[in-house]
Structure 1
Amino acid sequence: MTAASFDPTALLPDELLERFRERAVVHDRENTFPDDDLADLIAVGYTAILVPRELGGAGLGLAEASVLQQRLAGSAPATALAINMHLVWTGVAKVLSDRGDDALRFVQEGAVSGEIFAFGISEAGNDLVLFGSDTDAAPAADGSYAFTGTKIFTSLAPVWSQLGLHGLDTTSPDAPKLVFGFVPRSDAVTTRDDWDTLGMRATQSRTTVLDGAVAPADRIVRRLDPGPNPDPLVFGIFSVFELLLASVYTGIARRALDLAVDAARSRTSKRTGAALSQDPDIRWRVAEMALAYDAIVPQLASLTRDVDDRVDHGPRWFSLLSGVKHRAVATAKRVVDDAILVSGGSSYFSRNELSRLYRDVLAGLFHPSDPESAHATVATAWLGPIES
């Protein structure tokens, strides 16, 4: 399959998605990782969709990956969010290679050979996110680094083979430096069994404790000054992370909208004897949901294509990216809320799919960029920085 002949149903046919949807109920209830989903995704080459064809991947772009993630999230949101973190690293590798930088070629080759990459950036209380770290990165004479610290929200925790992470080097002559690298699973990595959450339970995004976990010299991809940085790696991480996250929550919104439409058509008013789809208030609510959803899809398509086509938005990039992520999450939450109102009291029962979507969609509030960060970024883009 190539981007030119892209058909999302080829990789994710309806029958596969229906299996994912059936499993999602079990994984949510039992708080387990979707191993079967991952095996099915690997079997169809999903973990290498962003890897160039010449390296054995599908050769798709971020725009096509976004459509696929929307489709997957409409079936199994937690599965989509989990695999999202692997796709982030393969997407960053594509962003870099498209711009002549092969620093993450090993990620592309690894994805084809079966490696699963996890995302180890989040730390408790670290609102600097990409621009700072409480994890210690200790250099060795051979160019490797030993990372010691705690990472939170490590999706794919039971299955990852390589963890992409960052830490702070405070001892080198040119310190401080933020060090980005990849560590394999080892005795120096402990995964806590602490993922018992309101929603997105199947992601199993457990806490990861690093005690001198070593990233070899050839897996150290950047040493950067702390703080905002124009390095392509930073842009790659931020752009792919925000856009694929937005895609997952947009997929949830679409599924909630579809469920609301089905409910409106199948429910009947005792007062009028007509289907609720004929009730003016219900029609207005469904229309509001559709208007909100329809605004996100073309913006995602446009921005993902701009990344693929190397369009230069200059300093506007970060406000555009944080904005679409925030907007997608806020829209999805609103659409799910309205879908529950359209569907009635049955959606309050845990066995109802909308009940799970209601819990799953809340996770979007916690991913960077959070509402405060997004608004600060957009305000700076339009008003300039706060004067000191």
Structure 2
Amino acid sequence: MKLHNALNLEERKQIVHQTAQAFSERAKIHDEQNTFPMENIQELKEIGYTSLTVPKTFGGKGLPLAEWLALQEVIATYDGSTSLSIGWHMGLITNISESKAWPEDIYEQVLYEVLHEGKLLNAAASEPETGSPTRGGKPTTTATRDHNNWIINGRKSFTSMSPALDYFIVSATMEDGQVGNFLINHSAQGVKIEETWNSIAMRGTASHDLHLKNVRIPFNHFLELVQPGKKNPAGWLLHIPACYLGIAQAAQNFAIEFASTYSPNSLPGAIKDLPNVQTKIGENEADLLQARYFLYGVAQKWDSSSKEERQNMQNELGSVKYQVVNSAIHIVDRAMRVVGAQSLFKDHSIQRYYRDVRAGLHNPPMDDRTLILLATEAFDRIK
């Protein structure tokens, strides 16, 4: 069944569950071999997932934030790498549709291709020389005007889902010192993916380096000016905590199943009857409830707020990412304590959850930035 034929969120979640079940076993293989789950992305395309955030005015479903985040969480319970990877595409479609900052002809072309041809896109902003773009570093990647074209040169890192992408949104410094975003086709001459990704976490995201050597693009592929380090509130980035919440749920599921079946000969039954095991499982359930209320409560507030009201939500959005990701880390840790030493066995998926969930600490916004903004707001209230 296609997602576009589903009538409500619960039906869509069921379809995603059915599709993503195969992702779990593949996740083990791609993690061990450090490869990209292209088949997962293809199957998500086949059920219409990758176009769900295309606005209704263009023929898409225009799913609100809270609804597509719930689907992202489902995918993450089967494979965090696939969830995080496709989340960038889903979120960027949401973002460009809400901001309407792109040239209209390019915007319409990209949405058409996403809806009818299954095209995928992601931003390429991080660089080895500048680190995270949220810190304010100016790109060393350059864009030079050449008559009716731009010539792009540079190198980007952390380009998630790079093998499957059709378009890269690349930030580059122009000759006048301003920074802009440019749309680059994967098939353009001078575009090269260097397979550098060898992290211990989220190995299946294929977040390789993108090399751009004298890449010539049309003049109208200049998308918008950007100010390094300045970030407007972006609800779509909540796909990040939604992903790690799904990984935490997967670890909890593993621990519950293990505790229900593991029965050492020192006990009359399974370890699920031990008070210390029940306490840890209960603590995890409490943390999962709290994280979901916070994540989806703020997402629903975003969906129901005006553009002006959303400008005041930066700290709420950052707090969700901070609280949910750190809770997810604690949940996975407790789940491993339930399982014990067997949680370290490579044959058990929980050790992958443990590695993957820690990657959330390094996705934007960073914890220190969020906490400083919250502290600044608190001090400002008493002035």
Fold equivalence (TM over 0.5): yes
CA distance in 2, matches of 1:357, 1:347: 10
Indicate the SS of the match to 1:66.
Answer: helix
Is 1:76 equivalent to 2:79 in the alignment?
yes
Is 1:340 equivalent to 2:336 in the alignment?
yes
Match for 1:167: what amino acid? A
CA distance in 2, matches of 1:252, 1:89: 22
Could you tell me which residue of structure 2 aligns to residue 303 of structure 1? 298
CA distance in 2, matches of 1:197, 1:127: 17
Contact 1:122 1:153 in 2 (8 A): yes
Contact 1:3 1:61 in 2 (8 A): no
Indicate the SS of the match to 1:344.
Answer: helix
CA distance in 2, matches of 1:88, 1:130: 21
* Deviation at residue 209 of structure 1 after TM alignment: 1.8
Contact 1:144 1:220 in 2 (8 A): no
Could you tell me which residue of structure 1 aligns to residue 346 of structure 2? 350
Is 1:161 equivalent to 2:166 in the alignment?
yes
Match for 2:254: what amino acid? L
Is 1:51 equivalent to 2:46 in the alignment?
no
Match for 2:235: what amino acid? S
Q: How does 1:1-388 map to 2 (within 5 A)?
A: 1=4, 5-6=8-9, 7-14=11-18, 16-96=19-99, 104-112=107-115, 113-124=117-128, 125-129=130-134, 131-140=136-145, 142=147, 144-169=149-174, 171-172=175-176, 176-185=177-186, 186-228=188-230, 234-235=232-233, 238-241=234-237, 243-268=238-263, 270-311=265-306, 312-313=308-309, 316-384=312-380
Match for 1:286: what amino acid? I
Indicate the SS of the match to 1:223.
Answer: strand
* Deviation at residue 258 of structure 1 after TM alignment: 1.4
* Deviation at residue 183 of structure 1 after TM alignment: 0.9
- Identify if the C-alpha distance between structure 1 residues 182 and 100 changes in structure 2 by more than 3 Å, giving closer, same or farther: closer
* Deviation at residue 93 of structure 1 after TM alignment: 2.2
- Identify if the C-alpha distance between structure 1 residues 93 and 107 changes in structure 2 by more than 3 Å, giving closer, same or farther: farther
* Deviation at residue 131 of structure 1 after TM alignment: 4.5
CA distance in 2, matches of 1:149, 1:120: 11
Percent identity, aligned pairs only, is 24
CA distance in 1, matches of 2:303, 2:214: 37
CA distance in 2, matches of 1:134, 1:35: 30
Match for 1:356: what amino acid? R
CA distance in 1, matches of 2:23, 2:300: 28
Higher mean C-alpha deviation, range 291-300 or range 220-229: 220-229
* Deviation at residue 143 of structure 1 after TM alignment: 6.1
* Deviation at residue 249 of structure 1 after TM alignment: 0.5
Residues 315-362 of structure 1: CA distance to partner in whole angstroms, max 9, x if unpaired?
Answer: 542211122112221111111111111112222111101011111112
Match for 1:182: what amino acid? L
* Deviation at residue 64 of structure 1 after TM alignment: 1.1
Indicate the SS of the match to 1:111.
Answer: helix
Match for 2:94: what amino acid? G
Match for 1:343: what amino acid? V
* Deviation at residue 198 of structure 1 after TM alignment: 0.5
* Deviation at residue 294 of structure 1 after TM alignment: 1.0
CA distance in 2, matches of 1:110, 1:306: 30
Contact 1:8 1:67 in 2 (8 A): no
Contact 2:240 2:321 in 1 (8 A): yes
* Deviation at residue 2 of structure 1 after TM alignment: 7.8
Contact 1:131 1:226 in 2 (8 A): yes
- Identify if the C-alpha distance between structure 1 residues 221 and 101 changes in structure 2 by more than 3 Å, giving closer, same or farther: closer
Indicate the SS of the match to 1:158.
Answer: helix
Unaligned runs of 5+ residues in structure 2 are none
CA distance in 2, matches of 1:205, 1:54: 32
* Deviation at residue 286 of structure 1 after TM alignment: 0.9
Indicate the SS of the match to 2:78.
Answer: coil
Residues 119-143 of structure 1: CA distance to partner in whole angstroms, max 9, x if unpaired?
Answer: 2112234344274432344342656
Indicate the SS of the match to 1:190.
Answer: strand
CA distance in 1, matches of 2:282, 2:87: 30
Q: TM-score, normalised by structure 1?
A: 0.88
Q: TM-score, normalised by structure 2?
A: 0.89
* Deviation at residue 26 of structure 1 after TM alignment: 1.1
* Deviation at residue 213 of structure 1 after TM alignment: 2.8
Contact 2:134 2:365 in 1 (8 A): no
Higher mean C-alpha deviation, range 189-198 or range 129-138: 129-138
CA distance in 2, matches of 1:133, 1:3: 44
CA distance in 2, matches of 1:10, 1:257: 20
Indicate the SS of the match to 2:164.
Answer: coil
- Identify if the C-alpha distance between structure 1 residues 225 and 94 changes in structure 2 by more than 3 Å, giving closer, same or farther: closer
- Identify if the C-alpha distance between structure 1 residues 13 and 288 changes in structure 2 by more than 3 Å, giving closer, same or farther: closer
* Deviation at residue 20 of structure 1 after TM alignment: 1.0
